[in-house]
Amino acid sequence: MSEATVRKQRPKYLALNEIRQPLPAIVSILHRISGVGIFLMLPFLLYLLDRSLGSPETFETFAAVVDNWFIKLVLFGLLWAYLHHFCAGIRFLLLDMHKGVDLEPARKSSKIVLAVSLALTVIIGVTLW
């Protein structure tokens, strides 16, 4: 038997759109992405805090910036990132204590994290909008 017939044909590239991740992996990836997003947007949030607390004139600057629809969308995304990061962080702390590490509880807790973070985002976002 020749060596060419024994070797298995391998793909030439990794098709990322064909890989299906389980829900706990998606929650973990979103946890990392939300943490990076919060970290990178921290200077913007500090700028908004400074504008809101300075004087009446700087508060008008804050109100003008926050009144923009794009900034509202960014702040809504940051609200989701914070809430998802918080809920997923609690899930990961419980996993570190060996609570819910089996397959079914892990899947259930990841569904709960997604549902709670999205529900809280809608409730708080609509209230603050």
Instruction: Give the domain ranges of the chain.
Output: 22-128
- For range 12-30, the mean pLDDT: 85
Q: Which of 114, 49, 109 is nearest to 75 (CA)?
A: 49
The CATH-assigned architecture of domain 22-128 is Up-down Bundle (1.20)
Confidence bin at 45 (pLDDT 50/70/90) = very high
Asked if residues 7 and 1 have their Cβ atoms less than 8 Å apart, the reply is: no
Supply the pLDDT for residue 41. Answer: 96
Confidence bin at 11 (pLDDT 50/70/90) = low
Q: Is 80 exceeded by the pLDDT of residue 94? A: yes
From 8-22, 47-61, 97-111, the region with the lowest mean pLDDT? 8-22
Instruction: Specify the amino acid at residue 57.
Output: E
Give the up-direction half-sphere exposure of residue 93: CA atoms within 13 A in the CB hemisphere: 6
Q: How far apart are CA 39 and CA 46, in angstroms?
A: 11
Confidence bin at 9 (pLDDT 50/70/90) = confident
What are 66's two structure tokens?
A: 């926050």
% of the chain beyond a pLDDT of 90: 78
Asked if residues 47 and 92 have their Cβ atoms less than 8 Å apart, the reply is: no
Asked if residues 72 and 129 have their Cβ atoms less than 8 Å apart, the reply is: yes
Supply the pLDDT for residue 75. Answer: 94
Supply the pLDDT for residue 4. Answer: 55
Tell me: the pLDDT tens digits for 69-79? 999 999 999 99
Measured CA angle at 18 (ends 14, 20), to 5 deg: 115
Q: What's this model's pTM, rounded to 2 decimal places?
A: 0.81
